[in-house]
Amino acid sequence: MELYMTKPISGFSKLSKKDKIDWLASEYTTDPIQTKTILEQYWNSDEKLQKLHDEFIENTITNLYLPLGIAPNFLINEKLYAIPMAIEESSVVAAASKAAKFWGGRGGFKTTVIDTEKVGQVHFIFKGDVKKLETFINAIRPKFYEDTAVLTESMSKRGGGIKDIALRNLSEKLDNYYQLHCTFETMDAMGANFINSCLEQFAATLKREAQNYATFTETEKDLEVVMSILSNYVPNCLVRAEVSCPIEALNLSKEISPVAFAQKMVRAIEIAKVEPYRAVTHNKGIMNGIDAVIMATGNDFRAIEAGVHAYASKNGRYSSLTHAEIKNDMFRFWIELPLALGTVGGLTKLHPLVKLNLDMLGQPSAKELMQIVAVAGLAQNFAAVSSLVTTGIQKGHMKMHLMNILNQMNATHEEKDALVLHFKTNTVTHRGVVIALEALRNN
Ligand code: MEV
């Protein structure tokens, strides 16, 4: 079959949705009829709603569903939340719910927003006298504020705006490289558009003023702006979430004493602090919880992932985002991480489910959402590591995965009920499920 022998197409984005699908189905799929059926199955029957989704991105052909689950009973700063989580991994919501219930009975989660500073930079090349550049930037600083006044007006009314514009000399790392390192407060908005608009104006102001700066030589006047863009590394947009309880309250199971459990938890965290191979997986488990809430609330999970992992390496080695200690017979477990989130703008009012999820969370401010998300990460890590240091994760994972295997094998309702019962007392493995289902069918 001559698949993928197709020629490049021009003007694809201008084709109708139907034509895009026809082209795709005939050029790139083995079964064009089935392709169209599957794609159409996932269209929303409400045409207006489908149009809304079509217009989120270019070249939309259908929707890719993710399950939206709820992890209830999260007691955060004395307030109970039911947290929406959008994720495909079968055990994540169950694990979050379990951790929420466990800590709900032990005082709940306590959280603090440490800071909310966002960052953006204008990167430029300047070939000349550094002292003159410093004097120049100081002289024109008011112009940056004046030129962005129209952009910052409504943000200022909400209590935000530009916090600082600092010249940074990075010429030791790269010849003639400097930047305007700018910090912002964007209140309940994630602020990407606001920050990038301000930065592009700073860049224009910088170029214009350099051209007119009498003491610059011709080369100095000709400073080159390379790019202006926000940074997703926001080490000062920081939140902390914590749980603690007397050690004797860590009575998880009969198999392990509370003291042994607390010690093993601390050991596991110590390992993730010193060993990057473990730290990556440890933090991946944290991100299971974080990303699921980020997705459910319409925030940018790629930005969060990038920033969080950079933060995990801030001391020069990739390390655990969570911490644990035993002190005065108390067990304390906490997370500190940067989260630049928004509860206004972006998808928050546009996507009906995102809007609903924010409503479920009590219309949180960005600061509140930072706290909820940090808690979801901490809870997820507690659930994962407590399983790892006791029973191992496979038992729970495979129990949750059982349904996926049964669905793959087109099991009926009755077969599913029978096998869920069977695997309550038997270890779930892919082969084991296949054999049990075949045996059931043969009977
Ligand atoms: C799986 O998605 C996440 C875990 O591997 C996290 C961890 O190892 O801590 C269970």
CATH number reported for the structural domain that contains residue 383 in this entry: 3.90.770.10
CATH assignment at residue 161? 3.30.70.420
Q: Same domain for 7 and 90?
A: no
DSSP state of 247: G
Q: What is the Cα–Cα distance from 373 to 378, expressed in whole angstroms?
A: 9
Are 199 and 121 in contact, with CB atoms under 8 Å apart?
A: yes
Q: What is the Cα–Cα distance from 208 to 206, expressed in whole angstroms?
A: 6
Whether 401 lines ligand 1, by a CB cut-off of 6 Å, is no
Banded pLDDT at 2 (limits 50, 70, 90): low
What's the total number of domains in the chain?
4
Length of the chain: 443
Per-residue pLDDT averaged across 322-329, rounded? 98
Of the candidates 231, 265, 284, which is a domain's last residue? Answer: 231
Whether 35 lines ligand 1, by a CB cut-off of 6 Å, is no
Q: Same domain for 159 and 205?
A: yes
Q: Same domain for 91 and 225?
A: no
Indicate which residue of 397, 399, 416, 422 is catalytic: 397
Q: Which amino acid is at 389?
A: V
Q: Whose CA is nearest to atom 10 of ligand 1?
A: 384
Q: Is the pLDDT of residue 395 over 80?
A: no
- The per-residue pLDDT for 377 is 98
Q: Same domain for 361 and 247?
A: yes
Inter-CA distances, 288 with 103, 117, 252, 314, 431, Å: 19, 25, 22, 21, 27
Whether 288 lines ligand 1, by a CB cut-off of 6 Å, is yes
SS3 336: strand
Per-residue pLDDT averaged across 198-225, rounded? 98
What confidence tens digit (pLDDT) does each residue in 372-389 have?
999 999 999 999 999 999
Instruction: Compare 349 and 16 and report the one with higher pLDDT.
Output: 16
- Residue 63 CB contacts under 8 Å (≥ 6 apart), including other chains: 42, 43, 44, 50, 53
Q: Same domain for 309 and 435?
A: no
Q: Same domain for 368 and 268?
A: yes
- The per-residue pLDDT for 424 is 87
Q: Same domain for 255 and 363?
A: yes
Banded pLDDT at 394 (limits 50, 70, 90): confident
Per-residue pLDDT averaged across 291-320, rounded? 98
Banded pLDDT at 417 (limits 50, 70, 90): very high
- Ligand 1 atom having least distance to the Cα of 272: 9
Burial of 379 (0-12, 13-18, 19+ CB in 10 A): buried
Cβ density class 343-356: b for 16+ within 10 Å, e for less: bbbbbbeebeebbe
Q: What is the Cα–Cα distance from 89 to 193, expressed in whole angstroms?
A: 32
What confidence tens digit (pLDDT) does each residue in 276-301 have?
999 999 999 999 999 999 999 999 99
Locate the DSSP E strands across 267-391.
322-327, 330-338
Catalytic-residue membership of 300: yes
Residue 283 CA to ligand 1 center (angstroms) comes to 8
Whether 281 lines ligand 1, by a CB cut-off of 6 Å, is yes
Boundaries of domain holding 60: 1-65
Q: Same domain for 176 and 276?
A: no
Question: For a pocket test of ligand 1, which of 335, 388, 390, 394 has the largest count of ligand atoms closer than 8 A to its C-beta?
Answer: 388
Q: Same domain for 122 and 211?
A: yes
Q: Is the pLDDT of residue 144 over 80?
A: yes
CA angle 92, 97, 103 (to 5 degrees): 125
Of the candidates 181, 197, 231, which is a domain's last residue? Answer: 231
Residue 359 CA to ligand 1 center (angstroms) comes to 30
Helix or strand (DSSP H, E) at 119? strand 118-125
Per-residue pLDDT averaged across 119-126, rounded? 98
- The per-residue pLDDT for 3 is 54
Assessment of whether the complete model's pTM goes beyond 0.95: no
Indicate which residue of 117, 147, 300, 368 is catalytic: 300
Lowest mean pLDDT among 32-41, 111-120, 292-301, 428-437: 428-437
Q: Same domain for 105 and 240?
A: yes
Q: Same domain for 141 and 194?
A: yes
Residue 401 CA to ligand 1 center (angstroms) comes to 15
Q: Same domain for 376 and 254?
A: yes
Are 232 and 303 in contact, with CB atoms under 8 Å apart?
A: yes
Q: CB count, 10 Å around CB of 198?
A: 27
